[in-house]
A = this chain, B = another copy of it.
Amino acid sequence: MISQTMVGLGKKRSVIREIFEYSKVRAAEIGAENIFDFSIGNPSVPPPQIISDTLKELLDQEDSVSLHGYTSAQGDPATRKAIADDLNRRYGTDFTANNFYMTVGAAASLSICFKALALPEDEFIVFAPYFTEYRVFVEAAGGTLVEVPPREPDFQIDFDAFSAAVSEHTKAVIVNSPNNPSGVVYSESTVKELCRVLEEKSAQYGHTIYLISDEPYRELVYDDNIVVPFLTKYYKNTLVCYSYSKSLSLPGERIGYVLVPSEIDDFEDMYAAVCGAGRALGYVCAPSLFQKLIARCVGQVSDISVYRKNRDLLYNGLTERGYQCVRPDGAFYLFVKALEEDTNAFCERAKKYELLLVPGDDFGCPGYVRIAYCVTTEQIERSMPAFEALAKEYGLG
């Protein structure tokens, strides 16, 4: 009598949540320091000091009625202008406040874009491996998710598979670079080819195919030579979904935006549809205090040097021991080939060594495991003998 789809979504624990619960139980048994929990993709470095300082400054200086009051639905104009200015400085774009709609984080940004776009029978294409909540959001908006299989071992795009997946029903393509769970950043040549195919297929089917760029990890890249292409510069029909969860270590505060570039087809309608979708989903405005924080702290990033150190230690340590893995350029994940065909069996065997890994099946990519390295460096150092022992079981190392 009530929505069984919603009951199902509420009851089905995610695999990651199952591991998290197991981790708590196991920690109580043998001590947290003896568990190597690599399951959770939660920022482990604190927000920059300026975040706390600025929040206190706002509380001291601003009139509390307006500080905590409603902003307009699209967000505080000063916040949106600050974000536009920052992106323009970094990417040579020319956005204004009117290109932004502030949201309650990236999940909201994505849900709003899907709701704004989706008509019955619409398909949304995603590249494996991918964050599985995409399916939940797309289906809630009435669309269908279409998976393109991964290109191994580098996890760029398999363009033959992609072309085959596009149909007259394709409404949009979702990309996530730096990627969860692979850590891979799409190269400029990947981006250019992707956009070329999008142009071609849009012309072929006589309607726009949108590109939705989910980029909460944009600033989490670890080498100077790695550039994360800014997609609106390559393809005008791009919607950018951003969140400050990772760059400022504020995942619980739910603050982000949708960027609608002026050159998108029918800008006025598209921006209105984003506003309308936010309204329809019950998003009145993004949290006011944190909007005002962003206006003052835009461009700041948490100290991500720990993630870089962790990545290097883990990538080098594992590959030296015989594991196969694409070197991640960004995000805080390593996507490692399982040492046997049955990924779940591999993860179970890893548990014997107290290594908690997430099967790639959960990301549409069986045969791999995700290792979230947003943990202490010490945990990585102490886990190495466990990874070594696990490899030896499979005759490696």
Binding site for B on A (CB under 8 A): 1-3, 5-11, 42-47, 51-52, 55-56, 59, 63-65, 67-71, 104-105, 107-112, 115-119, 133, 136-137, 139-140, 207-208, 249-254, 266, 269-277, 279-291
Contacts and interface: CB of A to CB of B under 8 A. Distances in A.
Given A108-B282, A249-B65, A287-B253, A1 B276 contact: no
A169 to B, nearest CB: 12
B59 A46 contact: no
Given A115-B6, A289-B253, A105 B276 contact: no
B64 A276 contact: no
Contacts of A2: 116-117, 119, 266, 269-270, 273
A273 B112 contact: no
A6 B111 contact: no
Contacts of A110: 282
Contacts of A59: 52, 55-56
A252 B2 CA distance: 31
A280 B139 CA distance: 8
Nearest to A272: B10
Contacts of A116: 2-3, 6
A129 to B, nearest CB: 20
A114 B65 CA distance: 31
Given A3-B273, A55-B55, A104-B254, 9 more contacts: A1-B207, A2-B119, A3-B276, A9-B276, A105-B282, A111-B282, A133-B279, A253-B288, A287-B287
Contacts of A109: 282
A61 to B, nearest CB: 11
Question: How many protomers of this protein does the assembly include?
Answer: 2
A196 B133 CA distance: 42
Nearest to A273: B6
Nearest to A46: B64
A150 to B, nearest CB: 25
B68 A250 contact: yes
A246 B340 CA distance: 57
A4 to B, nearest CB: 8
Which 6 residue pairs spanning A and B have beta carbons closest together?
A252-B288, A111-B282, A9-B276, A10-B276, A10-B272, A10-B275
A389 to B, nearest CB: 31
B281 A281 contact: yes
A276 B5 contact: yes
A111 B284 CA distance: 11
A136 B280 contact: yes
A139 B136 CA distance: 20
Q: Which of A59, A207, A251, A254 has the most CB of B within 10 A?
A: A254
A202 B137 CA distance: 33
Contacts of A56: 56, 59
Nearest to A43: B65
Contacts of A276: 3, 5-11
A284 B254 contact: yes
A105 B43 CA distance: 25
Contact of A3 (B111, B115, B249): B115
A284 B253 CA distance: 10
Contacts of A1: 119, 207-208
Contacts of A272: 6-7, 10-11
